[in-house]
Amino acid sequence: MRQLIAGNWKMNTTTASAAALAAALREGVVGCDMLVCPPATQLVAVAAALAGSPVMVGGQDCHGSPCGAHTGDIAASMLADAGATWVILGHSERRAEHHETDAVVRAKVLAAQGAGLRPIVCVGESAAERSEGHHEAVVGAQLVGSLPSSFDGVVAYEPIWAIGSGRSATAADVEAMHAFIRTELVQLFGARGGEMRVLYGGSVKPDNAVSLMALPDVGGALVGGASLVAADFLAIARAAGG
Ligand code: PEP
């Protein structure tokens, strides 16, 4: 399975710095699938900078409705109109800061797919949930609650305690959780669930990418901090595919 390396730029970059970062990635295209998810206001500039290159562009969130009175929100069709072909949904920062439930994430998945976007749905447990031994139950419930039966996208396993902390999950933890997620996906979707990519996210850096990307059932990475430095993001992409 070809791996996907996705960069989540979060609330960083200006139009100029986003276009420059995109241009630097364009120069270093590698042998895996690559995706960058800039802030919504930078989508048009980044899509233009990457036009004709295999590096794909995505949003970081969308609303669960196709249009309407939702001040400050962005519809999936607007992301598509700006050049996005993917969207990250249910990131733990959105689940925590915007109180997004699994039902909300599920509605967003349906809206995204309705607009022709491929969703990356994030799941993952907190440090307390892991230390209490509830990590599989938490992730299992997120999968069941967030993924509609028509789901046609990618799952990203992102333990909350590993995001932005510099402390990646251990190989054993990643391997065990990805095996668990695979079993759940097959239970939910049958053979289709056996083919879905499952990304790992949480402090992926050039120095741990080779070992993380070599683990069984790791279909790529969702990268935060390191995706803001072109050389680091490209090094991670090289670890995955080329
Ligand atoms: C993320 O927020 O999706 C993420 C994985 O961040 P970082 O790589 O900085 O841990």
The ligand 1 atom at the shortest distance from the C-alpha of residue 165 is 10
CB atoms within 10 A of CB 193: 19
pTM for the predicted model, two decimal places? 0.97
**Which amino acid residue places its CA nearest to atom 2 of ligand 1?**
224
- If one residue of 223, 232, 236 were mutated to test the ligand 1 pocket, choosing by the most ligand atoms within 8 A of its CB, it would be 223
The ligand 1 atom at the shortest distance from the C-alpha of residue 158 is 5
**pLDDT, tens digit, for every residue of 114-134?**
999 999 999 999 999 999 999
Whether pLDDT at 242 is above 50: no
| Closest listed residue to residue 20, CA positions, set 4, 41, 40, 42 | 42
114 lines ligand 1 (CB under 6 A): no
Give the Cα separation of 10 and 202 in Å (integer).
Answer: 14
203 lines ligand 1 (CB under 6 A): yes
Q: Which residues are tagged catalytic?
A: 91, 158
Average pLDDT of the chain, as a whole number: 96
C-alpha distances out from residue 153 to 120, 140, 195, Å: 6, 17, 10
**pLDDT, tens digit, for every residue of 47-75?**
999 999 999 999 999 999 999 999 999 99
C-alpha distances out from residue 160 to 167, 209, 220, Å: 10, 18, 18
